[in-house]
Each structure stands twice: as C-alpha cells, then as structure tokens.
Amino acid sequence: MSLDTPPSYADTPTLLIKIFGKDRPGITAGLFDTLAAYAVEVVDIEQLVTRGRITLNALVTSPSPAIATEGEVRATVHGWAESMKLEAEIISGTGDNKPRGTGRSHVTVLGHPLTAESTAAITASITSTGGNIDRIFRLAKYPVLAVEFDISGAETGALRTALALEGVRRGVDVAVMSSGLRRRARQLVVMDVDSTLIQDEVIELFAAYADCADEVAEVTARAMRGELDFAQSLRARVELLAGLDASVVEKVRRDVRLTPGARTLIRTLKRLGYQVGVVSGGFTQVTDPLQEELGLDFAAANTLEIVDGKLTGRLTGGIVDRAGKARLLRRFAAEAGLPLAQTVAIGDGANDLDMLNTAGLGVAFNAKPVVREAVDTSVNVPFLDTVLYLLGITREEVEAADGQDAGTLAAEERLRLGTGGQEDERTGGAVAGAPH
C-alpha cells in the first residue's frame, strides 16, 4: 500500500476491545503484547484515566483465519484481563469509525463549579443544533473546571449562538471556536489594561491622590450616560489632576494590582512563542513599567504631560480611544507578521468593543453586559489565566512548564490559596516594580 493512500478498513472485520479497571503501569503494553501473537492491525486507540481507573479502547482487525479464530482471540484477551484483575468487553463489527460530520468546532466550558444540570443543558443544546460530541477532555480542574468538547456536524456560528444563550442561563462561560490549524498556530494576544490586566482603574488611583475622586467619578458617569465621548471624558478627568506632583506617578505604580492569573497567562504565552501586548486608555506612565516587568512585546497608551515636576492636566500626543485600540491591534499584528485571524483580544469595556470584534477571537473578561452581548466569547471568573483554556492549553501543560522554574508553581499556588506572600497577582498586592 502506498504511503500516500490512507488505509481503508470499510469492509474489514474488526474487533473493538474495551478494557476497564484499576490503572497501573504496563496495561496498554500488556494488551498489545497479547494481541501481537495474532498479527492484527491497529485501527484506533483511545485511553482515559479518571480517578485511578483506566478505560482503554482498542479497535483492531480480526485475525486471519489462517492464524486464529475470533473466539481464540476473545479467550486469550479475557484470560489476560482476568490475570491483571481487569474487565474486558469485545465487540465484533466491520470497519472503522464513521467519518465525522462537516462543521467542526471546539466548545470550551468553564464552570465555578460546573454542575450536572448545566452540563446537561449545554450538551442538549449541542445536540439541538445537529452537533455530535466526538470527544470530551478536561483542560483544568482549578481555579475553575474547564472542559473541552470536540463537536462535528454543526455550523460553528449556530452552535456559538445557541451555547452563548444557554451559558448565560446556566451561569457558565462557553466559548465556541472553529477547529483547524490556526488554533494551534502562534498568535498575538492583546489586552486592555484597566480592569483586565490589572484590577484597578488608573485614573481613579491618580484621582485619590488629587483628592478629586468624586469629581472623576461624576465625569465617568456622564460618559457612561452618553453625554461625553471617551476623548472628552478622558480630557475632563485629566484636567482634574492639574498641579499634582509628579512623584505621585511612582505611588500609583506601586498601588497597581495585577489581575489574578495575569503573570501565569503572559508567562505561558511567551513560553509558547506567542507575542503579547497591551493597549490602554490609561497612561504610559503605568503601562511602560508593566511592559518592562512582564516582558510584553507591545504597549500603547495615553501620556500625561508633566512640566516642572507637576502634572499639567493635559495629555501629549494622540488619544488611545475605542477606534484607536482597534487600529493598534492591526498595527501590532502587522509588525508581528500575523493575520488578524491569529489575534486574540481581551477587554472589559465598551471602549474595547472595536478591538474585540476586529480580532480573530475577542474575549470579554468580566465585562459589562453590553460588551458580553456584543462579542462571541466571555469569561466571568476573576482569573485571567483561564483564557489559556480557550486556546486549548491545559492546566497540566502550564504546571509542567512552571516546574522548570524551581519553586514558581508552589509559590503561586500558596498565594492563590492565601497561605503566604503579599506581593503577587493572586493576593492583590503591589506589583509594578515589585520583585518576583
């Protein structure tokens, strides 16, 4: 048979061998060593271990009549399984799996917790769109339970619409992406800063030192009511900072708190060869140190004007607004040599919508309802590293990579659980310029 021609088992008698029991080393090798005596061909294998129990499925061709009968194979496999204190089931049939239906998608479900009721509703919605669940795989068990479903037979857009509605009803996050090589390709990830990469709104941190927090909040409220656009509201709020001593900049940097999981997200993406950037309606006086500290490839924000050691209440250069964020995403992608289809944008506010809808994947992170309704994917748990699961990266892969850095994982998990440490993303401590 030519290597260019895939083997066809359509009319070939086959045996589906299913092995169950307590997992231990050597089971898979033992089964196939037993089958080797009958010169069968392997058509398919799948193995899963859950709470120490193994489920091993092997689809093999039936033995040639010149070598043995199916009955002899059955007796041998059952005998081997009994000797290993395992259970075996053997089903005769013809051929391989049926071809998967057209329209293939990955569905990622994040639950905190994931209940049986919500799982039943999500899977019923998949079926209602004509989709078939081909495979289910747990990506992570903490800080949220993340499960991925491989789906065939349903159009991705219809599946996304149905599951988004069901996810909202059930209080779980559901992301639907088309299957394909692009998901595995190296990508560019661009994040908003305020209330996304960090837990704070930087203008509010400055306002606290200028003793004008209430006035800034009122301008923000006017913008949210539509009385001011972003540029107008930003200028109005910055004007309230006029006369503030420039030494406050360093204080604000120390006050900034990374969102839980931010370091893990960026560190993991960088290890995988992704490029990572931020765009912010905030200020370069804060984003520049973050870029250096976190090793970001790109950063853009507004710049506060400082003259004679004082904030003037004005900005220098152009304003990074809603349209500007989308333009910067395109620019970063061009500089990275990547198509927009291989970009991911993460943000929480209406000011991020153009960017979220320009990217290949837009993720609304703990976003306002108007933002969640306008994008395909949302994450509503307070851990930024859960975005990794949407990209098909498992928690085990993250931990294995962290294990290469002595002590990193243990330290971060102690902090996640609140058992030690004060200056890390998971406890909300100061980060800008902090040691790590």
Q: CB pairs under 8 A, 24+ apart, for 225-234?
A: 229/321, 230/281, 230/319, 230/321, 230/322, 230/351, 231/319, 231/321, 234/203, 234/281, 234/302, 234/315, 234/319, 234/321
Residues with a catalytic annotation lie at 192, 194
The strand pair at 173-178 and 188-191 is best described as unpaired
Give just the sign of the alpha carbon dihedral 267, 268, 274, 279.
negative
The tokens describing 190, both together, are 């661009």
Please give the Cα distance from 16 to 37 (Å, whole number).
17
Tokens 């490029």 map to which residue? 275
Contact 353, 194 (CB under 8 A): no
- DSSP 3-state helix, strand, coil percentages of the chain (rounded to 5)? 40, 25, 35
Q: Is 314 helix (H, G, I), strand (E, B) or coil?
A: strand
DSSP H helical ranges for 340-393: 353-358, 369-372, 387-390
Q: Is 40 helix (H, G, I), strand (E, B) or coil?
A: coil
